[in-house]
Chain A
Amino acid sequence: MSNTNPPSPSTGSRTETFTCVRCGRTVGAFTPDGLRRNHCPSCLHSRHVHDHVEGGPSECLSRMSPISIAVPRDGDWKVIHRCTRCDELTANRVQVDDNQLILMRLAVRPLAQPPFPLEVFGEL
């Protein structure tokens, strides 16, 4: 949850856990494939502990909610988090055991409320 740095399972204990700030679930700090977790796998919420502008730890420590899914041309999906207190945005990789239903909900949410009628696109 705390880190976006490259995975280094050797530096921390493999049994390290954290408690999700939103759903209260206790989750292991590492995924099954040995990467360090940044967000809760069941509700995808994170915590603002890393300052991306200046680097180093952030003093905000607020909850970060997932707002969108980014699909780069190469590589894995990313979750865009927004801090609920200071509006900072971060992008983090989707892990293998993340809740797929919440990921899909984030992905289809723009299409559920389109700003223009989508019927026109059927004729194209």
Chain B
Amino acid sequence: MPRRNPASADRRVQRRKERVPRGDAFRCAGCRADVPFHAPGTAHRNHCPQCLTSLHVDRRVPGDRAAGCGGRMEALSLSTRPDGEWLLIHHCLVCGELSANRIAGDDNPLVLLRMAVRPLSDSRVPARAMLVL
């Protein structure tokens, strides 16, 4: 009869945060910049800080490398967590999958701000919202 160990049975499997990368940098698929894996403010850097392009390699858990797609992912929009953290929504150009990732401390603020004001610079919907009032 197998030994029962209740202490280990209900222990939750922790998400593995440390992936052992080859080298200490990756090359961006969009702008070809060399990006170090270490990022200020996050342990899960998955996009280039300059052009915000990512690669479709992970499925649900950061670092699991379970997606077989490998396509380029472009930043689609910005979202906000209830505590005010910004999230980038990426969509895969090959299979259309969406994913969310927190922004890193060294992401280009100009590019981020441009994404944030993009809905406001479109004149159609703000005008309609004002008409509702």
Is B77 an interface position by the 8 A CB rule? yes
Size class of A's contact patch? 20 to 34
Given contacts A90-B98, A100-B131, A111-B116, 14 further A-B contacts (CB under 8 A): A67-B79, A71-B122, A77-B122, A87-B60, A89-B89, A89-B99, A89-B100, A104-B125, A104-B126, A107-B120, A110-B79, A110-B116, A113-B80, A113-B84
- Contact mask A87-124 → B, CB, 8 Å, 1/0? 10111001000001101100111111111101001001
Q: Shortest distance in angstroms between B98's beta carbon and chain A's nearest beta carbon?
A: 4
Query: CA–CA, A71 to B132, complex, Å?
Result: 21
Is B52 an interface position by the 8 A CB rule? no
Query: CA–CA, A89 to B76, complex, Å?
Result: 12
Q: A101 contacts which chain B residues (CB < 8 A)?
A: 129, 132-133
| Chain B interface mostly | mixed
The answer on a CB contact under 8 Å between B86 and A100 is no
Q: Nearest 6 pairs between A and B by C-beta?
A: A68-B79, A107-B119, A70-B77, A113-B84, A89-B98, A100-B129
The answer on a CB contact under 8 Å between A68 and B126 is no
Is A20 an interface position by the 8 A CB rule? no
